[in-house]
Amino acid sequence: MMSRVAVVRFAGGLPGSDQYAVMLKCGLTALSDGGGYAGLVKRLFPSGTVGMKASCLARQNSTSPALAEALAKILIEISGIKDNNIIVWERTSRELKQAGYSLNAASIGGRCLGTDAADIGYSAEFFSSGKVSSMVSRILTDLVDHNINLALLKDHSLAGMSAGLKNMYGAIHNPNKFHANNCDPFAADVNNLEPIKGKHRLTVIEAVSVQYENGPGFDGRHFDRYGGLILSDDPVAADRVAQEILEHLRSKHGRPTLADVNRPVKYLASAQQAGLGTAEMRSINLVVRLIDAAGSEKAGELLS
């Protein structure tokens, strides 16, 4: 069965919350296969509490708070999710704060907190898959019913690429144990842990300004604008398309392929083998849309 991935590119400057909302609705519409974004959102998030796992390791190079805000507004508007039932989360509150998020663990307003927040922590239970045994953030196990992987596309010196699957390392208590062998098969195993796999509904990978070299820490010398969001309910397919973009940007800047520098993104094949999704472009139904500064939408190109 084909997996569907939507890439929405913005031709204007840096998107704000309003532009992100347009991009998200466009992408969700493309994923809905003609049903419209509202129907898809209602189907994926019928009720309950929705988590958004942000990627905030590198401070100024993190998933944008404006993107999270736009996504939250769509959930509230379409599914009627209460704002307090939306939780933007990360490993630590400090990381969220440094990335520009406003922390809130209160019972009023949208919540934003790290696993290290008071009374949160990690599951008492160990979850195991393949070579990984970990405790999982209680935000995921106990607080949310559905999770959105709100990831960021960037180069990663060990994994090759950090996008959706790698972002979920931030959900476990011992991510440092799983970086050998280009994170393979560990990235697949982490995403196959029952709470992570079971609550995943949607991957949204921010690829607006992409660090194509020297990641995952911030290195301002190696950024290029791509201006896109990648959306899919197939976490592996979303990453596979992200890899195409990353390799394209690396090539554009004269960098060797990730495989040529001993950082092949091997974990995608393992993730496919684990049944998490498809890692083959030929099995991906890719829709690319381009939105101009005025908000007009047309077909776009993945690599240009």
Partner 1 sequence: MKRRWFIKCLGCGTALAASQIDLWPTILGGIQNAYAFGFTKELASVEARYYKKLPGRGIECGICPRKCMVTDLERGYCGTRENRGDVYHTLVYGRPCAVNIDPIEKKPFFHFYPGSNAFSLATAGCNLNCKCCQNWDISQSRPEQTDNLDLPPAEVIALCTEKKVPTVAYTYNEPVIFYEYMYDLAELGHKHGIRSVMVSSGYIEAEPLAALMPHLDAIKVDLKAIRETYYRDYVDGELKPILDRLVQIKKSGTWLELVYLVIPTLNDSDEEFTELARWVKTNLGTEVPMHFSRFHPQYLLKNLPPTPQKTLERAHDICRTEGLDFVYLGNLPGHPAESTYCPKCKRVLIERRGFQINQTNLKGNHCAFCGREIPGRFA
Angle formed at CA 276 by CA 272 and CA 278, multiple of 5 degrees = 45
* Residue of the chain from 42, 218, 224, 297 that contacts partner 1 (CB under 8 A): 218
Nearer to partner 1, 104 or 214 (CB): 214
Pairwise CA distance, residues 91 & 110, whole Å: 18
Nearer to partner 1, 47 or 174 (CB): 174
SS3 57: coil
Residue 17 Cβ vs partner 1, minimum distance, rounded to whole Å: 27
Confirm or reject binding of residue 157 to partner 1 (CB under 8 A): yes
Confirm or reject binding of residue 253 to partner 1 (CB under 8 A): no
Burial class (CB in 10 A: 0-12, 13-18, 19+), 244: middle
Count residues contacting partner 1 (CB under 8 A)? 25
* Residue of the chain from 160, 215, 227, 228 that contacts partner 1 (CB under 8 A): 215
Question: Left if phi > 0, otherwise alpha if psi is -120 to 50, otherwise beta: which for 33?
Answer: left
> CB-based contacts of 196: which residues, under 8 Å, 6+ apart?
136, 140, 147, 168, 171, 190
Instruction: Tell me the window of 42-50, 200-208, 211-219, 294-302 that interacts with partner 1 (CB under 8 A).
Output: 211-219
Buried b (16+ CB within 10 A) or exposed e, 20-34: bbbbbbbbbbbbbee
Nearer to partner 1, 110 or 215 (CB): 215
Name residues contacting partner 1, limited to 113-142 (CB under 8 A): 116, 121-122, 124, 126, 128, 133, 135
H helix or E strand, kind and range, residue 50: strand 50-53
Binding site for partner 1 (CB under 8 A): 57-58, 92, 116, 121-122, 124, 126, 128, 133, 135, 157-158, 173-174, 176-177, 179-180, 214-219
